[in-house]
Amino acid sequence: MKRHLPTALVISLCLLFASTARAQLGIYGQFNGTHDPGGWYRGGTFGVYDDMLHGGPLHLGFDLRAGFASGHQYSYHNFLIGPRVSVHPPVLPFKPYIQGQIGFGGTKLTSRSGSGYDNHFQSAVIGGLDYTVLPRIDLRIPEIGYEKMDGVGMTTLGFGIVVRLP
């Protein structure tokens, strides 16, 4: 006797989420500070998220971002992607979110003898709060993250703007 349980389960889940799936694409830019054992660095982050699954106030999707920071003789960049969970309360203009991400990050140290790049695997846990100010515009106030690259932990703090597309 053949078992079709996995196929039936996949079809059932697709039908369940088909009625609640309304993609919500958001594009954002933010200013941020990054702190590691060497000090604070200023920079920015640009990205896009897509909330693909909606179950009441709970939204599930993914986030793709690129960031950079610099200070003193040091510059830093990263490219991260990962799952995102957000809550959209029905009455309140606040939308908290959390996401776990992986990707790569690199550092560049510039000195009198030249400069060199050093790239590594990177992971991050990032959370924040988006506040709706206009129907498709949110302020990101704030975003806080912990990133780890090559055994070095970094803390980030960011503020920015999100444009949600229909």
Whether 10 maps to a domain, the answer reads: no
Sign of CA dihedral 41, 43, 48, 53: positive
CA 137 to chain centre: 17
Whether 15 maps to a domain, the answer reads: no
Peptide bond into 166 cis (omega under 30): no
| Predicted TM-score (pTM) of this structure | 0.81
In whole angstroms, give the CA distance from residue 145 to residue 54.
Answer: 24
Whether 16 maps to a domain, the answer reads: no
**What would the pLDDT profile of 43-98 be if each residue is shown by its tens digit?**
999 999 999 998 999 999 999 999 999 987 788 899 999 999 999 998 899 999 99
Whether 41 maps to a domain, the answer reads: yes
CATH number for the domain including 88?
2.40.160.20
Q: How many domains are contained in the chain? A: 1
- Domain span including residue 120: 22-165
Whether 134 maps to a domain, the answer reads: yes
Sign of CA dihedral 140, 161, 84, 86: positive
